[in-house]
Chain A
Amino acid sequence: MNRLEIVITTENAVCVMRLTGELDVATAPSLRDEIANAVAKGGPILVSLEKVEFLDSRGIGALVAGTRQARESGTDVAVVIVSQSQRHSIEVLKLEAFLTIRASEAEALRALTGASE
């Protein structure tokens, strides 16, 4: 059963991961692996949750671990979240200041490339 699809492209030297499905305790390890692979290759990473229908704390944990790993390697992860309930979960866990969260891919790309917003 594959409940999470991750499509990875490179756009303007940014690794873009577009997720579709459910990011939860069962599927979060695959995102962790993909972010780790991208960090090993170098360069900034954009993770879009626009089409993620369900996000639990383990999914958030994968984003946190990936962000930490990227920053230790001198790069960063930006996360696109459009769902208010998903943002609320991140706020409950007091992780909104740690994660780089944006409302659109364009904003996330600007955050990663340093272009003025």
Chain B
Amino acid sequence: MSGRTLVELRVAPDAELLRSARLVVSSLAADRGFSLEEIEDLKLAVQEACASRLLLGLARSTVSVTIGDEAGLTIEVSGDVEGSGEPNEDAAMCLALAEALVDEYTVRRKDGVERIVLRKAPAGA
């Protein structure tokens, strides 16, 4: 991720804990002039990206969320398991929604681990 890293978050792969990633993203987005609607979109996009790691079995002990300030906010979400997981309809819904809510959606692979990169800028930027 280019740009400055603002926060790195490691969350146990527990659906109940994904809320903490949403709260951090929400706080950073509010500080950076995103509208309420844009903040809701970002919260949901990061939730879906994190949930997809769980549903695909790609997070054994942690889900990593790295938030940077490149072109608005850039959020990289990854698990700790190599590969792409077993495709399933639930995970596909997560990723389809995440992709629709951000300006740029990219899937990268580093050291065999898939990373979902979400980028969104405030409309007024």
Q: Are A56 and B48 in contact (CB under 8 A)?
A: yes
DSSP majority for the A interface?
A: mixed
User: 0/1 per residue, A84-105, Cβ < 8 Å to B?
Assistant: 0100010011000000000000
Contact status B44-A3, CB under 8 Å: no
B93 A60 Cβ-Cβ under 8 A: yes
Asked whether A1 is an interface residue with its Cβ less than 8 Å from the other chain, the reply is yes
The dominant DSSP class at the B interface is helix
Complex Cα gap A54–B101 (Å): 15
A50 to B114, CA, bound (A): 36
Number of A-B residue pairs having CB atoms within 8 Å of each other in the complex: 55
Q: How many residues of B contact A (CB 8 A)?
A: 22
Report if A51 contacts B (CB, 8 A).
no
Render A11-27 as a binary contact track against B, CB cut-off 8 A, 1 for contact. Answer: 00000000000101110
Residues of B within 8 A of A24 (CB): 15, 18-19, 47, 51
Cβ contact within 8 Å between B97 and A93 = yes
Residues 63-117 (chain A) with a chain B CB within 8 angstroms: 85, 89, 92-93
A interface size (C-beta, 8 A): 16
Cα–Cα distance between A87 and B14 once the two chains are bound (Å):
27
Q: What 9 A-B pairs come out closest when comparing CB atoms?
A: A26-B15, A57-B93, A92-B100, A25-B51, A25-B15, A26-B16, A85-B40, A57-B97, A56-B47
